[in-house]
Chains A and B, each alone.
Chain A
Amino acid sequence: MKKNITVVLVLLLLVVAIAVTPLLLIKDSEFGGADGAAEEAITAINPNYQPWAQSILEPPGGETESLLFCLQAGIGAGIFGFGFGYLVARKKYQKGV
């Protein structure tokens, strides 16, 4: 059990390290998101290509978009945490099983 906790903590630290390293190493990048940049690559390959459909709801700006992404992560994390909480408590109060 104790060994498991150590392993989990080390793994989580590793995750953070992998995510942060590019930020420290690459200084001149904004780490731009996919959507716009991928469009540019297609335009470079095929300059005449016209996207033939538009998103039905486009967030008006970065703030609203980040709100929705936060909401997605928040909802997910809430449900996930609720589930884990249930499982942990179940084990704690069902010592016999």
Chain B
Amino acid sequence: MKSKKQRFLIAATAALTLVFGCVESVSAMHIMEGYLPLNYCVIWGVLCIPFLIIGLNSIKKTIEQNRKALLILVMIGAYAFVLSALKIPSVTGSSSHPTGTGLGAILFGPTAMCVIGVIILLFQAILLAHGGLTTLGANTFSMAIAGPFVAYGIYILCKKLNLSKSAGVFLAAGLSDLFTYSVTAFQLALAHPSEVGGFQASFVEFLGIFAVTQVPLAIIEGLLAVVVMKGLESYARPELTELRYLEGGN
């Protein structure tokens, strides 16, 4: 039954996109201004506030303890700034962009990236009409909280499993990218449950479109994170040691 409804939904979407004159499927990126009902905007926004406060404190502490790390933090922020401006074509025939927040989470902890993520989202919402101020809370939660926490968790897990540093960085950055957009799909499905299949049908649809588009981009983000990490390992050993990314000689 359900699959029939899903098929109907997909057909409806396809028909609609055809009406708009181009074969185009939904690609991910941020939730658009005004497309999340007010109550959800408020809930996601409030959920973000504690993470932001902890993040600000965490950044303050990191910089107080080792001033040198500030340069790395700025570079990691700039890296995320660049990545979230690059809309890369994907296998679904639409484009989306990576998040760039996973790498910083590995070095500075997940909450520090909340602050950097918000800055990027604000820039895009105000100047680029990309994302939005009303949906800032929801977008912050997916890109600047959920993604970095997953990256951090996966990196720790890989370390426990004795995987190589590169493998850990790749998996952490890639999966956090993918997870960010799964959360976006979840948020949209929660706010826009389908009339026929409810939340689940919407979620499956959004996830199908969003996550599939993001898979190649997640791999790209994982590879780029490894490249940046290799560079930092070669040229920023003192900082990485202070940040406890490199331990002792290694």
Binding site for B on A (CB under 8 A): 1, 4, 7-8, 11-12, 14-15, 18-19, 21-23, 25-26, 28-46, 49, 51-59, 65, 68-70, 72-73, 75-80, 83-84, 86-88, 90-91
* B134→A43 contact, CB < 8 A: no
Question: Which positions in B face A, CB cutoff 8 Å?
Answer: 9, 12-13, 16-17, 20, 22-35, 37-38, 71-72, 74-75, 77-82, 84-91, 93-96, 123-130, 132-134, 188, 192-195, 202, 205-206, 209, 216, 219-220, 223-224, 226-227, 230-232, 234-236
Chain B residues with Cβ below 8 Å from A49 are: 35, 192
B127 touching A15, Cβ below 8 Å: no
Contact assessment for A77 and B78 in the assembled complex, using a CB-CB cutoff below 8 Å:
yes
- A73's contact among B25, B34, B86, B224, by CB below 8 Å, is which? B86
Which residues of A lie under 8 Å from residue B33 when comparing CB positions?
51, 53-55
Q: Would you give 14 A-B contacts (Cβ < 8 Å), ordered by A?
A: A11-B223, A11-B224, A18-B216, A22-B216, A31-B95, A38-B31, A40-B16, A49-B192, A55-B125, A72-B82, A72-B128, A76-B81, A76-B85, A88-B235
- Which residues from B are CB-within-8-Å of A80? 75, 78-79, 82
Q: Are A26 and B93 touching (Cβ within 8 A)?
A: yes
Residue of B nearest to A37 (CB): B26
Q: Name the residue on B nearest A92 (C-beta).
A: B235
Q: Residues of B contacting A28 with CB < 8 Å?
A: 23, 93
B23 near A15 with CB under 8 A, answer no
The CA-CA distance from A12 to B227 in the complex, in Å, is 8
Q: Which residues of A have CB within 8 Å of B125?
A: 55
B32: contacting residue among A12, A18, A51, A84, CB under 8 A: A51
Write the nearest CB–CB distance from B32 to chain A, whole angstroms: 5
A84, B188: Cα distance in complex, Å: 39
**Whole-angstrom distance between the alpha carbons of A51 and B125 in the complex?**
15
Once the chains bind, are B25 and A79 in contact (CB under 8 Å)? no
18 more A-B residue pairs beyond the given contacts A31-B89, A35-B130, A72-B124, with a C-beta to C-beta distance below 8 A: A22-B93, A26-B93, A30-B24, A35-B129, A37-B25, A37-B94, A38-B26, A38-B188, A41-B13, A42-B192, A45-B193, A49-B35, A55-B125, A56-B126, A58-B129, A73-B82, A76-B85, A87-B236
Given known A79-B74, A83-B71, contact A33–B95 (CB-CB < 8 A)? yes
State A72–B195 Cα separation when bound (angstroms). 39
Residue pair B22, A32 in contact (C-beta under 8 Å): yes
Q: Which of B87, B91, B188, B226 is close to A11, meaning CB atoms less than 8 Å apart? A: B226
Inter-subunit contact B94/A29 (CB<8 Å): yes
Contact of B29 among A33, A40, A46 (CB under 8 A): A33
